[in-house]
Structure 1
Amino acid sequence: MAGFGKSLKVLRCLTFATGLVECLCFAGAVFGWASLVFVLKTDGYFSSLCVNATTVNATQVLDCSEQDEQFSLVFTIASFMNNFMTLPNGFLFDRFGTTVARLFGIFLYTLGTLMVAFSTAALSNLLFPALSFVAVGGILFLITNMQVGNLFGSHRSTIITLYNGAFDSSSALFLVIKLLHEAGISLRSSFLFLSACSFIHLLRTFFLLPRGHIPYTVPDHYTYGVTCGKSNSLSLEQTAANANTQMTTEETPFNKEPVKQEKSFRECVMSRFFVWHVVWLSVMQLRHYLFIGTLNPMLQRLTAGEPSLVSQYTNAFAITQLCGVLCAPWNGLIMDRHKGKPRAAGESEQEADLRASGLSLFLTALQCLLFSVSASTPYLPLQYLTFILQVLNRSFLYGGNAAFVSVAFPSCHFGKLYGLVMALSAVFSLLQYACFAVVKGPLDGDPLYVNIALTLLSLLAFIHPLSVFLHCRSLASQRAINASS
């Protein structure tokens, strides 16, 4: 059995390492949109929308605002699909397991990359479905990989946040494509290579992941994947025991406890925690999406259209995205700081987790406020600081979102609530296109007033951590009253 245990350890380490590479190199590529736009503009996508215009000085200039609007719309739709489809994708994963969900995700991702590869300036509209397919396929990679944390027990939260950080950092993929394009490698060649990498995703699906779900907690000698030749098998008694354990856990693969009689799904959705959490995520996500979707025209404006400066700042933004994988675990450490410490008399583990999450929620809102103020300041060198604040806040935002849902609500509703939060925030994120239209129209390309409005809107995110703090203080007061009586 010693050899069997060693082979299991190797299998799990391979699963973790390849999952990290998959999230880091593929899953969140769509959020490197600013780098890809630079390439697409160079190749003439939507260039027919650029028209000659006359300035107040009677100077002829090329007005490409309509082109920028189309690029913004492509990203708006793709980012919307990335979040909104989390709800049906979550149900697909829960109902049919890892293999089916991943095969669907690989199909979409491959289809999307092939559509970009065979698109041309004359077929610019192919970008709309292509980027949406890449976005939805990528989020399925993340959803199916997060369960890998279940294999590592006490390090579960760290691995989940690390994968979310890798998802954020994968936006640097389009920076690599941009640099290759500048070195003479065509856009088609780069995306054909991405399509060919789907073979690697298929190998992971069949050899390094289960058909169903990875349970939490993991039974002794739990194994998965297709094995070749003779393998060490479990005894009949062990197999039966593991099956019984999995029956109680596979329906909620990320959860630690079996299903109990808890609040109904409707009661959870109608609770103030859920409402304020949706607001918390939505306002900050809108700020991030608008910033990413309008980064190229913003840099065009601040650099007076100097191509070398636009390229320099676009590269700087993409490089900072690589730091997401380093920043994300910090939030997990903040939320797990109370683990292993004695709790107050009468305090439940859920209450302790909820109390710890309050600081994370507050710091995330504060980061977003600072990021928004920096992004709103029309001073070009300051944008380096903006890029740093953006990646730090984004890495905290999504890891904190999943963690809060898991501690604040019954485990039996985690998948549905997480998907619903993401779907509702996706609907709210559609406002980014309206904001862009306002900037392009009434504001004549100057985003200052929209940025100020979004900065003020981001203040709503502070209500959520305040609500959590007041709730925890109320519970502590109630415990004190009960102890004294």
Structure 2
Amino acid sequence: MYSFDVPFSKRLVQCICAITWCLFSGGPIFGFAALKPVLINERVYEYLCDETTHLVIEGKEVVSKCTDQDLKLNMMFTVGAVVTNVSALLIGRVLDVYGPRVCGLVGAGFLYLACFIFIFAKSLPAWFDPYLFGYAALALGGPFAYISSFQLSNSFPEKSGTILALITGAFDASSALFLIYRILYNSSGASFTLESFFTLYLLVPTFITVVEFLVMPAESYQTSPDSVLCVNDEENVSHLSPVNSAGHPQHSLSSGQEIRETSPLLASSHHRHDSIGDALKQPYELEGEEFLMEHTGGVFGILHGYTASAQIYTWWFGLICIFSTIQMLRLNYFVATINTQYQYIFGSIEKAENLNSFFDIALPLGGLISIPFIGLFLDNFSTVIVLTGLLAISLAIGILGFVSNYALAVIGVCMFVAYRPLFYTTISDFCAKVFGFETFGTVYGTIIMLSGIFNFSQSWLDKLTHTTFRMNPLPVNVALVVVTAISGVITVVYVHDQAKKFNASKKVPVRG
């Protein structure tokens, strides 16, 4: 289905509805730092603590009562983050096979499940952990609804980049949901309980369900039928050289001739459809191949035209996957433990609480404010410089986290909330430019899925900090920064080296 098949007003309503539900359901689980104090006050997992281990400061319980409760609460977020990422590949497949309506309805189903689990949490059997499973259901429902909205970027092809930015911004802002809830909870004197909140939240999956049947399309919008950017099919692949062990295409050489050039602009009418890749293609197509080749440092198109399986067995995929895994672990570990980390670093619960409150507000705002700047950064600098910048910011955030200074901690938080959307956007952009659009869902989904699985180690790091290091977060953070530096430098050097070789074979003018 193409945009010109649907009236303008209906497409506009579809976009507004999708942005609205992404704002309320896209990624609320990432507002865990704001929700955690409510969970503690509601005595979630408090049964794990012995009466003698309760910690009361200035007559008010402001932290977890014991290590076991804190670890169990943090496990809620760990499982939620893992489920969100691991589901990426599955969601892409559902979107490809069954379309956006089914994908959105599945998301609404999981949100309904999450609501009912939280509402009846105290009535469920003792062997069932309602908070863990409820948070996991919430974490699974959001991405189904969010990713099903991607295809709407093609509802207005000339504004596709803006629509994607609005949907992504709504996703980032959704982490403010639990901040708003905590404010209402405190202002109500703790009478606005979890049960009350999730009873009200039932309106969100209900809205998604009604809108899916009344307004939203049953099939994804496609790019223009004359689109020729980065199309991959068996016929075209047969004309391309294989990928060597270094992940660089092997170009054929004939006697007395230069290296054979193969354009990534391969047209075909019977290629495998990738809904997510197709949704992301339009902004790149508007820029054109020549612009992309020049402004990415020649990286654009380097593995276009190859099957997903061939791409996954390259160093391009392996290195970016390792780097992404480590960064995602650091991001989610920080979100789950910011309060306890800074209680130790500052030696003050009050300062840690203040920083946590600032973080709760900055996290959704950072995603919204940084979106236009991220676009400018990616558009005006080569892929190597972008990756170098990403690595430098990540290391700076890590180093600032070692210092017991409130002002520097605030700067670190500001950098973190801007870095988080920059990281996800850069990895997505890297996959589109290097691997192409026809395999994007599979390649990017695999990176996010593997990163999500590895994020289970977050709970081990958390336990290590609580026990072996006696709440000192520095050993774990130092190790993560060192691993980030090693993996990041190797990735940047490899991309730079391979891009130079590819540019030499293509004779592409590039910009730094």
Whether TM exceeds 0.5 here: the answer is: yes
Q: Where do 4+ consecutive residues of structure 1 move more than 6 Å?
A: 4-7, 121-124, 245-249
User: Among 411, 434, 453, which residue is 1:427 paired with?
Assistant: 453
Is 1:193 matched up with 2:195?
A: no
Contact 2:104–2:212 (CA under 8 A) maintained in structure 1: yes
User: Among 73, 77, 80, which residue is 1:78 paired with?
Assistant: 80
Contact 2:150–2:276 (CA under 8 A) maintained in structure 1: no
Q: How far, CA to CA, are the matches of 2:386 and 2:401 in structure 1?
A: 22
Q: How far, CA to CA, are the matches of 2:115 and 2:274 in structure 1?
A: 32
Kindly indicate which of the two structures has a greater share of residues assigned to helix.
1
- Offset at 1:136? 0.9
Change (3 A) 1:42 1:261: closer
User: Among 250, 260, 277, which residue is 1:254 paired with?
Assistant: 277
The equivalent residue for 1:477 is 504
RMSD: 3.2
Cα deviations across residues 183-241 of structure 1 (Å, max 9, x unaligned)? 11222221111112222112332233211211112799xxxxxxxxxxxxxxxxxxxxx
Change (3 A) 1:153 1:44: same
- Offset at 1:277? 1.1
The equivalent residue for 2:238 is none
Change (3 A) 1:300 1:6: same
The equivalent residue for 1:436 is 462
TM-score by length of 1: 0.81
- Offset at 1:310? 4.9
Change (3 A) 1:143 1:8: same
Cα deviations across residues 355-404 of structure 1 (Å, max 9, x unaligned)? 83333322222221112222233434433222211111101111222222
Is 1:279 matched up with 2:302?
A: no
Q: How far, CA to CA, are the matches of 1:360 and 1:17 in structure 2?
A: 32
The equivalent residue for 1:466 is 493
Is 1:457 matched up with 2:483?
A: yes
Counterpart amino acid of 1:267?
A: A
User: Among 204, 209, 212, which residue is 2:216 paired with?
Assistant: 209
- Offset at 1:22? 2.0
Is 1:319 matched up with 2:346?
A: no
The equivalent residue for 2:143 is 139
Contact 2:304–2:434 (CA under 8 A) maintained in structure 1: no
- Offset at 1:79? 0.6
- Offset at 1:154? 4.0
Cα deviations across residues 142-172 of structure 1 (Å, max 9, x unaligned)? 2111222122324423432442333222111
The SS at the match of 1:177 is helix
User: Among 109, 130, 150, which residue is 2:154 paired with?
Assistant: 150
Identity %: 22
Change (3 A) 1:461 1:117: farther
The equivalent residue for 1:41 is 40
The equivalent residue for 2:95 is 93
- Offset at 1:268? 0.3
Is 1:448 matched up with 2:437?
A: no
User: Among 62, 65, 68, which residue is 1:66 paired with?
Assistant: 68
Change (3 A) 1:463 1:153: farther
> How is 1:74-473 mapped onto 2 (pairs within 5 angstroms)?
74-120=76-122, 125-184=129-188, 185-217=192-224, 251-252=274-275, 254-255=277-278, 256=281, 262-302=305-345, 306=349, 309-323=351-365, 324-337=367-380, 356-459=382-485, 460-473=487-500
- Offset at 1:98? 0.8
Counterpart amino acid of 2:369?
A: L
Contact 2:46–2:69 (CA under 8 A) maintained in structure 1: yes
The equivalent residue for 1:241 is none
Change (3 A) 1:431 1:121: farther
Change (3 A) 1:187 1:5: same
- Offset at 1:279? 1.4
Gaps of 5+ in 2: 56-62, 228-267, 286-302
Q: How far, CA to CA, are the matches of 1:247 and 1:98 in structure 2?
A: 21
Q: How far, CA to CA, are the matches of 1:62 and 1:428 in structure 2?
A: 26
The SS at the match of 2:306 is coil
Counterpart amino acid of 2:325?
A: S
Q: How far, CA to CA, are the matches of 2:146 and 2:66 in structure 1?
A: 36
Q: How far, CA to CA, are the matches of 2:24 and 2:406 in structure 1?
A: 29
Contact 1:147–1:254 (CA under 8 A) maintained in structure 2: no
The equivalent residue for 1:346 is none
Contact 2:64–2:70 (CA under 8 A) maintained in structure 1: no
The SS at the match of 1:376 is coil
- Offset at 1:477? 2.7
The equivalent residue for 2:16 is 17
Gaps of 5+ in 1: 56-60, 221-244, 338-354
Contact 2:329–2:458 (CA under 8 A) maintained in structure 1: yes
